[in-house]
Amino acid sequence: MAIYALGDRVPSIHPDAYVHPDAVVIGSVTLEAGVSIWPTTVLRGDYGTISIGAKSNIQDGTIIHCTSVHPTVIGENCVVGHNAHIEGAVIGPNCLIASGSIVLNGSVIGENAIVGAGAVVPFNFQLPAYRMALGVPAKIREGYEVPVGHVDGNTAVYMANATYYREALRRLD
């Protein structure tokens, strides 16, 4: 795996976290217990900080960055789908940031919320807890409340995947 310090910015990776060998982690990045980071994901904590809470999974091709003004904070038990981009935003616990979505600087995604696939969450957007945002630009879906536990099955599967990959993955070339 490609894990880099950048000057005095050094990643902090819990021993129970899994970082796929083809992922990149740079600088001030904190990964808590049970976090899994999947192929071609880039976490770049160069100008600020990135922290990812316990049991969250960051799926293939995702880009997570921060700024000197806006850290990126992802709460525990979150699912960040394939090819998402999170830049200087705060994601509450138990959230789904679906595949191909973008969450931009200063945005706050409340606990147990969903950002739908392909949505673009603009600067400084506030998504309340238990709500869903869809579209480009993202708008809150009226009349829908996200059920409690909506990500639990996914986070359990990805924790099991991380255990399996840690034990069984081997490069053949």
CATH H-level superfamily of 2-168: Hexapeptide repeat proteins (2.160.10.10)
Q: Is the omega angle on the peptide bond into residue 21 within 30 degrees of 0, that is, cis?
A: no
Query: What's the token pair of residue 159?
Result: 């924790």
Select from 127, 43, 29, 141 the least CA-distant residue to 84.
43
Q: How confident is the model at residue 52 (pLDDT cuts 50, 70, 90)?
A: very high
131: pLDDT strictly greater than 90: yes
Mean pLDDT of the chain: 97
Query: What's the token pair of residue 59?
Result: 């799926």
129: pLDDT strictly greater than 80: yes
| pLDDT, position 98 | 98
Work out the angle at residue 158's Cα, subtended by the Cα atoms of residues 155 and 164, and round it to the nearest 5 degrees: 145
| pLDDT, position 123 | 98
Delimit the domains of the chain by residue range. 2-168
Q: What is the DSSP letter of 18?
A: E
CB 77 within 8 A of CB 53: yes
Q: How far is CA 26 from the centre of its chain?
A: 15
Query: What's the token pair of residue 9?
Result: 């910015």
1: pLDDT strictly greater than 80: no
Quickly count: other Cβ atoms within 10 Å of residue 160's Cβ.
11
8-43: pLDDT as tens digits = 999 999 999 999 999 999 999 999 999 999 999 999
Secondary structure of residue 69 in the 3-state scheme: coil
| pLDDT, position 94 | 98
Q: Tell me how far CA of residue 38 lies from CA of 28, 78, 122, in angstroms.
A: 18, 14, 26
CA distance 172 to 69: 43
| pLDDT, position 18 | 98
70-123: pLDDT as tens digits = 999 999 999 999 999 999 999 999 999 999 999 999 999 999 999 999 999 999
